Amino acid sequence: MTDTTGNPLLDAWSTPFGLPPFERIRPEHFRAAFEAAFAQHRAEIDAIANDPAEPTFANTIDALELSGETLSRVGGVFWNLAGSHTNPELQAIEREISPVAARHYSDIGMNPGLFRRIDTLFVKKDALGLNSEQARVLELTHRRFVRAGAKLGDADKERLGAIVQRLATLGTTFSQNVLADESSFELVLETAEDRAGLPDWLVAAAQRIGEERGKPGKAVITLARSVVEPFLTFSTNPGLREIAFNAWTRRGENGGETDNRAIVAETLQLRVERARLLGFKTFADYKLDPTMAKTPAAVNDLLGRVWPMARARALEERAELEEMARSEGDNAGIGAADWRYWSAKVRKARYDFDEAAIKPYLQLDNVIAASFNTATKLFGVTFTERPDLGLYHPDARAWEVNDAQGRHVALFIGDYFARPSKRSGAWMSSFRGQRKLGADVRPIVVNVLNFAKGAEGKPALLSFDDARTVFHEFGHGLHGMLSDVVYPSVAGTSVARDFVEFPSQVYEHWLMRPEVLKRFALHAETGEPLPDALLAKIQRARNFNQGFATVEYTSSAIVDMEFHALEDAEGIDPIAFEKNVLQRLGMPQGMVMRHRTPHFAHVFSGDGYSAGYYSYLWSEVLDADGFEAFRASGDVFDPELAKRLKEHVYAAGGRQDPAEAYRAFRGRDPDVEALLRGRGFLGETAEAGGEER
């Protein structure tokens, strides 16, 4: 064993709220901490599996739920830093630890002695006198072990363990390659012509990036979505738009050490083999079995219903863009790098809607305050910033969360700005989850986003999509913070993949409400609230370009499903496969997938959303239908509806079947047409549905 004396990851933490002592933690501490934590967890598992006493819920399931606490604590710090503030040392450790951790958990899932005890309890579950949460935990635990290979023979167990280990290595490498391509790209805007068309706030943000990257006085465009998308929207230089767009869409496909094509091919082959070992026809069948959708056919039915409507709308939109371009003397056609630019012009002409005019009203701090205030009005929780707490980066901020009675609920950390050490995108995670088993443990939840900072001394300004992302991720955050269950395995966001987006996407709807915007959308210079006329323009333009947005997303979901419906992936060329699927769909000219295969991190940086990217659309059925209940009540903060939403969704975790949870909140099953209405495909409604993130 490596000497672990004085290792801050293994010491008792006396910090406020049990925060990790970030100021003391160094990369060199992690290997020893992981080694000790793995060993401790193995000993705990062996003690449960080899217990001579007859299996009981307490000595088997309770003990299993409480095992691995040290590993969870060490991993909570490491995996969060690996995503939000990494460095070469952490990346090297990540490449080393990922397969070890995968094999560790795989071995537990296939432990014969442990599974015998779980199976014994499962067989006689109806005679154990369990409450509903315990019964659910036992059901999910048994299913998790079966899906991990607990019923396989020794040879198949060994092969499955090797596959899981290799997939972890591939996923880590995929993610690091994407980050490398994102971090290395810089488009320096040297001249006035290079900056032509760009609003002042974007030039200021690009200059701030230039300063941070050692190019003072230079304006630099990176591949952070909050920078590159507005550049593609406003830049009047088609050559530079093409450069930025190509770099953005070719992440992971540039040859050399960071190319992900071979990684994708091997990943798909191993997933097929994994599914077959576990008795499933395809990896999609394997992944969907425990979800709300259950089968690929159900997913394809939803995608197949949405795709033709989205494609038809996108073709109409392209015709409008081409007409606008011709009216300005541009007959070159609408390329993929041009769509956002000409869309902005059409939207301005049709709705007098200008993103640059709205952005000064969406200050990041005010949008954060709006998300907090919405939670206060719905769920009674309050947020007090704690600048005294030591965090892992100067940009990160912390808030103490209390309930209406002043009792501690959670600690919330917000990490909002892009930097080279952070992977792209937006996500919610936890440094510590909630539980009541053994002790009343409250969660430490983090939202990580990638916005551009404002100019020195100026607030960060958001697009409307950026503001919606704040609400989206905070909805995930509330799912973790409001969790109120006994067992950690069903706490917070530990729910079916196609249900986990419901709490985040339904929360987005409150951003669009006049009650919220009129109070928190205040002009950065004058402090004036968003004018009624501008609010009306936002409402009128809410479904503009929905064909484009839906095609972008749905094509990605369909390609994901097609990849994982393969019964044989031997020799696959992922790029050719992607191209063939899109051709078969009739992908509109000048459009690309929202996430092309070589940087499709949802699907290939691990298997979280593999055969599951459809989940955002599936959850949008729920969120569109769910928010209609609030609108129909006449009070979007209706206390009775909010109480049911909190009790059966945000606080409930995975302690009940998600379909039952939705019915308990809504009183009925969801109506799929609410999604189509929300996206404007079946006529107009007062709110747009949640969007994929």
Helix axis angle, 88-109 to 28-49, nearest 10°: 10
Q: Does pTM surpass 0.85?
A: yes
Domains and CATH numbers, the chain: 16-109+111-151 (1.20.1050.40), 185-250 (no CATH), 284-332+543-678 (1.10.1370.10), 360-530 (1.10.1370.40)
Residue identified by tokens 């007959």 is 331
3-state secondary structure of 399: strand
Whether 480 contacts 653, CB under 8 Å: no
Which residue is catalytic, options 133, 320, 355, 473? 473
The reported pLDDT for the residue numbered 671 is: 87
Distances (CA, A) of 458 to 205, 525, 661: 10, 9, 44
- Ramachandran assignment for 50, one of left (phi > 0), alpha (psi -120 to 50 degrees), beta (any other): alpha
In angstroms, the CA 13 to CA 27 distance is: 18
By C-alpha distance, which of 482, 226, 490, 521 is closest to 370? 521
What average pLDDT does this structure show over 595-619? Answer: 96
542: Cβ contacts below 8 Å, ≥ 6 apart = 512, 680, 687, 688
pLDDT for 134-189, tens place per residue? 999 999 999 999 999 999 999 999 999 999 999 999 999 999 999 999 999 999 99
By C-alpha distance, which of 566, 590, 599 is closest to 274? 566
Using the predicted structure, report yes or no on whether residue 682 has a pLDDT greater than 80: no
In angstroms, the CA 156 to CA 277 distance is: 7
284: Cβ contacts below 8 Å, ≥ 6 apart = 296, 299, 561, 564, 565, 611
pLDDT for 113-139, tens place per residue? 999 999 999 999 999 999 999 999 999
Using the predicted structure, report yes or no on whether residue 693 has a pLDDT greater than 50: no
Active site residue 473: yes
φ, ψ of residue 429 to 5 degrees: the values are -145, 180
Q: What are the DSSP calls for 173-193, one per residue? A: HHHHHHHHHHHH--EEE-STT
The reported pLDDT for the residue numbered 683 is: 60
pLDDT band at 539 (very low <50, low <70, confident <90, very high): confident
| Residue 486 DSSP one-character state | S
In angstroms, the CA 635 to CA 141 distance is: 40
pLDDT for 476-519, tens place per residue? 999 999 999 999 999 999 999 999 999 999 999 999 999 999 99
In angstroms, the CA 551 to CA 316 distance is: 13
What average pLDDT does this structure show over 37-66? Answer: 98
Q: Which amino acid is at 445?
A: V
Distances (CA, A) of 466 to 158, 397, 472, 595: 45, 18, 10, 18
Q: Which amino acid is at 475?
A: G
Outline where DSSP puts E strands in 346-498. Answer: 382-385, 397-402, 408-417, 427-432, 444-451
The C-alpha angle with vertex 607 and arms to 560 and 592, in degrees rounded to 5, equals 30
Q: Pull the structure tokens for residue 515.
A: 């009650």
Helices (H) and strands (E) in the chain, counts: 27, 7
Q: Please, what is the average pLDDT of the chain?
A: 95
pLDDT for 249-263, tens place per residue? 999 999 999 999 999
pLDDT band at 684 (very low <50, low <70, confident <90, very high): very low
In angstroms, the CA 458 to CA 680 distance is: 37
The reported pLDDT for the residue numbered 67 is: 98
pLDDT band at 538 (very low <50, low <70, confident <90, very high): confident
Percent of the chain residues past pLDDT 90, beyond the cut:
92
The reported pLDDT for the residue numbered 674 is: 85
Whether 364 contacts 558, CB under 8 Å: no
In angstroms, the CA 151 to CA 109 distance is: 10
Using the predicted structure, report yes or no on whether residue 1 has a pLDDT greater than 70: no
pLDDT for 61-114, tens place per residue? 999 999 999 999 999 999 999 999 999 999 999 999 999 999 999 999 999 999
The reported pLDDT for the residue numbered 686 is: 36
pLDDT band at 691 (very low <50, low <70, confident <90, very high): very low
In angstroms, the CA 347 to CA 548 distance is: 13
In angstroms, the CA 324 to CA 584 distance is: 29
Beta strand 408-417 with 444-451: parallel, antiparallel or unpaired? parallel
pLDDT band at 676 (very low <50, low <70, confident <90, very high): confident
Using the predicted structure, report yes or no on whether residue 18 has a pLDDT greater than 60: yes
Beta strand 408-417 with 427-432: parallel, antiparallel or unpaired? unpaired
283: Cβ contacts below 8 Å, ≥ 6 apart = 268, 271, 272, 274, 275, 564, 566, 610, 611
Using the predicted structure, report yes or no on whether residue 52 has a pLDDT greater than 80: yes
The C-alpha angle with vertex 218 and arms to 212 and 223, in degrees rounded to 5, equals 65
Burial (CB count within 10 angstroms: exposed 0-12, middle 13-18, buried 19+), residue 131: exposed
Q: Pull the structure tokens for residue 414.
A: 């917000």
The reported pLDDT for the residue numbered 202 is: 94
CA 689 from centre of chain: 17
What average pLDDT does this structure show over 620-637? Answer: 95
What average pLDDT does this structure show over 376-380? Answer: 98
Whether 457 contacts 209, CB under 8 Å: no
Residue environment code for 219-233, b if the CB has 16+ CB neighbours within 10 A, otherwise e: bbbbbbbbbbbbbbb
102: Cβ contacts below 8 Å, ≥ 6 apart = 164, 165, 167, 168
pLDDT for 418-452, tens place per residue? 999 999 999 999 999 999 999 999 999 999 999 99
Distances (CA, A) of 190 to 186, 229, 328: 12, 19, 26
388: Cβ contacts below 8 Å, ≥ 6 apart = 16
pLDDT for 206-252, tens place per residue? 999 999 999 999 999 999 999 999 999 999 999 999 999 999 999 99
3-state secondary structure of 411: strand
In angstroms, the CA 580 to CA 559 distance is: 10
**What is the C-alpha radius of gyration for the chain, rounded to an integer number of angstroms?**
25
By C-alpha distance, which of 275, 305, 267, 101 is closest to 600? 267
3-state secondary structure of 669: coil
φ, ψ of residue 603 to 5 degrees: the values are -100, -30
In angstroms, the CA 620 to CA 132 distance is: 28
pLDDT for 291-321, tens place per residue? 999 999 999 999 999 999 999 999 999 999 9
In angstroms, the CA 285 to CA 298 distance is: 11
pLDDT band at 3 (very low <50, low <70, confident <90, very high): low
